[in-house]
């Protein structure tokens, strides 16, 4: 068996075409495009590259984007004041604060300062709580939302399947587990202290890798025919590889996301979708 490659770039491109049309329609009706404000503090290389990627892809897709590059010396109170200002700006519909933040800035207090209706990456405790209970009009984190979208686009329903999520971060692993649970999967969450990880991986009909450890999951561990969603982005030498041993896993799985080109392109696309949704909701209640 050779697995089907889940083409995140192609799926994201198709979705962005539809989002561009909706963004243009919104701009024509309101006088301004759906717009995100992206903030990052300090000179962290990955954060700056991600911000540039968001800027490039949002502009290509007829969305607005404002980048706020803040110095390493920016205080917590200054960042929170900026969040308050963009929260009151009617032309900004989405807010993203990139992590990591400097040690003197509390990520928890910053997440509380993000306006709930503009929280396009679902980090505010209100959105996280609504996701947990699967109630209300919440905004879900972009990265796991992209994983769910990939499953839907290849015609895989989680209902009745055993899904194993390797990774328990608040940004990917936990929300992905809840999204699968809300779609009637039976979900097991694993992490770095999980005993008999190999056996649990072997029991998965859907395997989600989000541990941030290159090649953690070996191909021979997989259940034959499993669907593999790999969120890992690990720089090893001059290569970017996932958490799953791709070459071996491809010979066992029925479908698998490559790294790069799998889940990555979907994250920015889901940020666009959330920004459009947030803009539409704010317009409705303005």
The domain that holds 163 is classified in CATH as 3.40.50.720
**257 located within any domain:** yes
Look at residue 167 and tell me if it is in a domain: yes
CA distance 132 to 160: 20
Whether 241 and 165 share a structural domain: yes
Within a domain: 83: yes
Same domain, 109 and 197: no
- Which pLDDT value is given to residue 45? 80
- Number of structural domains the chain divides into: 2
pLDDT of res. 48: 87
Asked if 182 and 88 sit in the same domain, the reply is no
- Looking at the domain assignment, is residue 133 inside a domain? no
pLDDT for the residue 231: 98
Q: Tell me, what's the pLDDT at 44?
A: 72
What tens digit of pLDDT does each residue of 102-161 get? Answer: 999 999 999 999 999 999 999 999 999 999 999 989 999 999 999 999 999 999 999 999
Instruction: Give residue 55's pLDDT.
Output: 96
Q: What is the pLDDT of residue 286?
A: 72
DSSP state string for 128-190? HHHHHHT-SS----HHHHHHHHHHHHTT---TT-EEEEE---TTTHHHHHHHHHHTT-EEEEE
Q: Is 63 inside a domain boundary?
A: yes
The whole-number pLDDT of residue 269 equals 98
User: Is there a single domain that holds both residue 109 and residue 156?
Assistant: no
Please tell me whether residues 148 and 258 are part of one structural domain: yes
Q: Which domain holds residue 63?
A: 29-116
> Same domain for 255 and 148?
yes
1 in any annotated domain: no
Give dist(CA 147, CA 153) in Å, integer.
10
109 and 146, same structural domain?
no
* pLDDT < 50 stretches in the chain: none
* 148 in a structural domain: yes
CATH of the domain at 48: 3.40.50.10860
Task: Give the closest residue to 270 by CA, choosing from 14, 15, 89, 1.
Answer: 15
Q: What is the pLDDT of residue 47?
A: 85
Q: Does residue 225 sit within a domain? A: yes
Tokens coding 7: 């083409």
């Amino acid at each position: 068996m050779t697995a089907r490659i889940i083409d995140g770039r192609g799926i994201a491109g198709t979705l962005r075409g539809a989002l561009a049309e909706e963004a243009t329609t919104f701009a024509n009706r309101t006088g301004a495009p759906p717009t995100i404000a992206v903030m990052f503090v300090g000179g962290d290389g990955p954060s700056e590259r991600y911000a540039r990627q968001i800027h490039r892809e949002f502009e290509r897709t007829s969305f607005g984007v404002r980048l706020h590059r803040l110095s390493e010396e920016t205080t917590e109170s200054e960042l929170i004041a900026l969040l308050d200002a963009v929260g009151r700006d009617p032309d900004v519909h989405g807010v993203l604060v990139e992590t990591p933040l400097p040690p003197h800035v509390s990520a928890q207090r910053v997440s509380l300062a993000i306006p709930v209706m503009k929280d396009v990456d679902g980090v505010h405790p209100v959105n996280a709580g609504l996701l947990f209970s699967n109630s209300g009009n919440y905004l879900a984190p972009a990265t796991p939302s992209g994983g769910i979208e990939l499953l839907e686009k290849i015609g895989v329903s989680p209902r009745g399947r055993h899904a194993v999520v390797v990774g328990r971060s608040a940004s990917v692993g936990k929300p992905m587990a809840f999204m699968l649970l809300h779609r009637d999967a039976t979900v097991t969450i694993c992490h770095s202290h999980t005993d008999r990880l190999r056996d649990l991986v072997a029991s998965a009909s859907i395997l989600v890798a989000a541990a941030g450890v290159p090649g953690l999951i070996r191909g021979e561990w997989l259940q034959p025919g499993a669907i593999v969603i790999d969120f890992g982005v690990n720089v090893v030498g001059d290569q970017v590889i996932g958490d799953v041993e791709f070459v071996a896993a491809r010979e066992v799985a029925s479908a698998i996301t490559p790294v790069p080109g799998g889940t990555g392109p979907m994250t920015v696309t889901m940020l666009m979708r959330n920004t459009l949704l947030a803009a539409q909701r704010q317009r409705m209640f303005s």
